Amino acid sequence: MFKRILFFVLVVNFCFSQKEVEIETVVVKRTPKIDNILKKLQKQLIKNCDTVTHTFLLRQLNLQNNDTIIFRNEEQFIKINALDGNFSKKNSIENNNNWFTKVKETFKLYDASESPIGWISGFPIRKNLTITKFDFLVNSQQYVYEVEWTDENSIEVKFETPGFYKGRFVVDKNYNLLHLEYETTAPYPFYYTSAESVGKYHKFTSSWIYQREKVSLDFAVVNKKMTLKALSIEEKLRDFLFNRYDKEGVIFTDRTNFTTSIELQNKLSR
Give tens-digit pLDDT for 18-58.
Answer: 544 454 444 556 889 999 999 999 999 999 999 999 999 99
What are 97-129's pLDDT values in tens digits?
555 556 666 677 777 667 677 777 788 999 999
Find all residues with CB under 8 Å of 235, minimum gap 6, and list them: 124, 210, 212, 213, 258, 259, 260
Domain range for 220 is: 30-191+212-237+261-269
Does a structural domain hold residue 137?
Answer: yes
Q: What is the pTM assigned to this prediction? A: 0.81
Does a structural domain hold residue 22?
Answer: no
In this prediction, residue 89 carries a pLDDT of 86
> How many other C-beta atoms are found inside a 10 Å radius of the C-beta of residue 220?
16
Tell me the C-alpha distance between 239 and 226, whole Å.
37
Residue 219 near residue 226, CB atoms below 8 Å: yes
Does a structural domain hold residue 54?
Answer: yes
Does a structural domain hold residue 46?
Answer: yes
Does a structural domain hold residue 163?
Answer: yes
- Exposed, middle or buried by CB within 10 Å (0-12, 13-18, 19+), for 154? middle
**Which among 24, 39, 78, 117 has a CA at the least distance from the CA of 266?**
78
Question: How many independent structural domains does the chain possess?
Answer: 1
